[in-house]
Amino acid sequence: MLTLVAAVLLAAAQPGPPARAEPVEARGTDAAARYDTAMALLLDGKLEEAARAFDAVVAAPDAGPLADRARTLAEVSRALSARGQFVLHEPGLERPRPARRARLDRSGRGELAFFGTTYGIWTGVASGLLAGADDGRVYSALAIAGGAGGLALAILPTRHASMPEGRAQAIESATNWGTLNGGLLAALADADGKGVVGATLGTGLAALGTTALLTRERSPSSGEVALTNSGGIWGLVTGGLTLAILEDAGDKTAESVLLASTDAGLLAMALVARRVEMSRGRSLIIDAGGLLGTLAGVSVPAFANAENGPAIGAAGLAGMAVGLAVGTYISRGWDEEHDEGPAARAGAMAMPVVARLEGGGFSAGVAGRF
């Protein structure tokens, strides 16, 4: 290594940059020209040729002071040649860095693991219902096996796979809404108890598998999932309050209204989520406004001693609409506030300032940002 440093220092002492490798015969016969050619061969990595060229400089009668330098560089060239390939990069060019492997986002594995456990327990219980088991110990065993299987299926396949929070939440939400849809559809089809359980289990598992496949390449954000869930929740609430207004709706009508309103809310907010960027936090603020508004709305008829279905339904719908609108308005700057830099997040700041006066004494005060 010291020999290589010496060679570099010696090369740097020569005036002007050396030319690239050319045949020795084409560069003339004087010692200085042969030295430049040898240096070019060295810098090109042609070490054996460089060593022979430096030897020719040493043997030249007019080499003078170049002979000692050429002798040292000939030894350096042979030593480097014995070590293997030797390549120098052009000055000013960075060496190519090996590409770093992108770090996988697996922040949603914990949430998926919890959901997989709970849904696995339901799957075990549903399997017992479908099998017509009448022993509580069977249901306990199936619930434990289902929970353990759901946990394993959530943890093991995601050890080396991407699982962002948005993807885990999308799988969870799709499974829940698929389960609800299956139950309502089975009820509309006049299915018996086992038929309803089988439909909820089948549609839930189908939604889980489909969402897991569709989100492998592009995962939705937590805000997109939250906004879509809000659409389903408030669609379901809208359906329930509408049924309160109808009062005498039959079972088929109730099931149809709930199914249609829920799916309409999910679809509408899924489309909005693709065009409006919103965080999960802001979506929850809007939901909180809708919850308070709905509660206040259904309470008005009670305070007015008008406790009848249509009045409660109408007041609830009005309160829900107002609450969601107010929640949307008051949270309009929510995401911007959480994206500000450290200085803005620091808020008000004050600090004492003390300075010595020129004529003696001190001056004290307070400076800061408010």
Query: Are 274 and 319 in the same domain?
Result: yes
Q: Is residue 350 part of a domain?
A: no
Cβ burial of 176 (10 Å; 0-12, 13-18, 19+) is middle
Look-up: residue for tokens 């109808």? 246
Q: Are residue 255 and residue 311 in the same domain, yes or no?
A: yes
Please tell me which residue, 313 or 34, carries the higher pLDDT value: 313
| 199: three-class secondary structure by DSSP | helix
Mean pLDDT of all residues in 274-289: 92
Query: Are residues 69 and 155 both part of a single domain?
Result: no
Q: Is the pLDDT of residue 94 over 70?
A: no
Residue 29 has pLDDT above 50, yes or no: yes
140 and 44 part of one domain: no
If one compares 292 and 24, the residue with the highest pLDDT of the two is 292
Examine the fold and report which residue of 68, 83, 98 is the final residue of a domain before the chain moves on.
83
Whole-model pTM over 0.85: no
pLDDT-based confidence at 65, cuts 50/70/90?
Answer: confident
328 and 274, same domain (yes or no) = yes
Over the stretch 99-144, which tens digit does the pLDDT of each residue have?
Answer: 566 678 888 999 999 999 999 999 999 999 999 998 989 999 999 9
Final residue belonging to a domain, choices 202, 219, 236: 219
Position 44 in a domain: yes
Q: Are residues 119 and 204 in the same domain?
A: yes
Q: Looking at the domain assignment, is residue 119 inside a domain?
A: yes
Q: Within this chain, do residues 200 and 234 fall inside the same structural domain, yes or no?
A: no
| 237 domain-assigned | yes
Q: What is the pLDDT of residue 7?
A: 39
Looking at the structure, tell me whether residues 213 and 232 fall in a common domain. Answer: no
Do 161 and 241 belong together in one domain? no
Q: Is residue 280 part of a domain?
A: yes
Highest mean pLDDT among 21-35, 175-189, 247-261, 343-357: 175-189
For the chain, the average pLDDT equals 80
What is the reported pLDDT for 327? 93
Domain of residue 150, residue span: 108-219
- 245 and 172 within one domain: no
E strands of the chain, at which residues? 349-356, 362-369
Q: Is the residue at 29 inside a domain?
A: yes
Would you say residue 229 lies in a domain? yes
Domain count across the chain: 3
Please tell me whether residues 210 and 225 are part of one structural domain. Answer: no
pLDDT band at 83 (very low <50, low <70, confident <90, very high): confident
Range 160-165, long-range pairs (CB < 8 A, 24+ positions)? 160/104, 161/104, 161/106, 162/104, 162/105, 162/106, 162/216, 162/219, 163/104, 163/105, 163/106, 163/107, 163/108, 163/109, 163/112, 164/105, 164/106, 164/107, 164/108, 164/219, 165/107, 165/108, 165/111, 165/222
Q: Do 236 and 311 belong to one domain?
A: yes
Cα–Cα dist 340/273, whole Å: 23
Please name which of 47, 45, 118, 149 lies closest in space to residue 88, comparing C-alpha atoms: 45
Q: What is the pLDDT of residues 174-219, one digit of tens each?
A: 999 999 999 999 999 989 989 999 999 999 999 999 999 999 888 8
Q: What is the model's pLDDT at position 51?
A: 82
Residue 342 domain-assigned?
no
